[in-house]
Amino acid sequence: MGAILLITGRPGAGKTTLIRALARALGEQAGGFYTEEIRGPQGRLGFRLVTLDGRAAVFAHVDWAGRAPHRVGRYGVDLEALDRLGVPALRAAVAEKAVALVDEIGKMELLSAAFRQALEEAAAGPRPLIATITASPHPWADAFKRRPGVECWELTPANRERLREGALAWLRAHGLYVVE
């Protein structure tokens, strides 16, 4: 079983920024994906899923709320985008890379049985996993946080830089070369 570091925190704390910084520091050693906001004049409109090898797809959007089969809050969710891009990126990271990065394990993503299964496989595999995870209560996410050997750190605006340095040290302690 590989080491697991979970990063939690409120929306806007910098979780995605941290995952992207770790991906840059790890370079070709890392695989996985992150989600980024789609913003417009009225604020956040949705989320785009981006794999570390550069593929992307819109994953959730306010315009889909009435049309998508899945909905979380004001967003319609396209699970097919996650299952088509995110799940294979996670599985490839576990099979081929030194570390898997996932942003994020949240309510939208957890609607996908394939994603939950890929996370279980990653947790049981030999590679380290760093993932952001919802701070809100969720039965599956709460159980994942309680797995043996899981470290769960809370990211806040006040500890952002210290936590970034801690995550880089965590990666070094697990035998990875990081560029700062």
Residue 129's pLDDT is what? 97
One DSSP character per residue, 27-48 reads: GGGEEEEEEEEEEETTEEEEEE
Residue 4's pLDDT is what? 97
Query: Is the domain defined by 4-173 classed in CATH 3.40.50.720?
Result: no
| This prediction's pTM | 0.95
Residue 153's pLDDT is what? 98
The tens digit of pLDDT for each residue in 45-54 reads 999 999 999 9
- Three-state DSSP class for residue 53: coil
Tokens of 17: 């920024």
Calculate the CA 114 to chain-centre distance.
Answer: 15
Residue 177's pLDDT is what? 87
Residue 65's pLDDT is what? 82
Residue 179's pLDDT is what? 85
Residue 79's pLDDT is what? 96
* Low-confidence residues of the chain: pLDDT under 50: none
For residues 74-113, b (16+ Cβ closer than 10 Å) or e, as one string?
ebbbbbebbeebbbebbbbbbeebbbbbbbbbbbbbbbbe
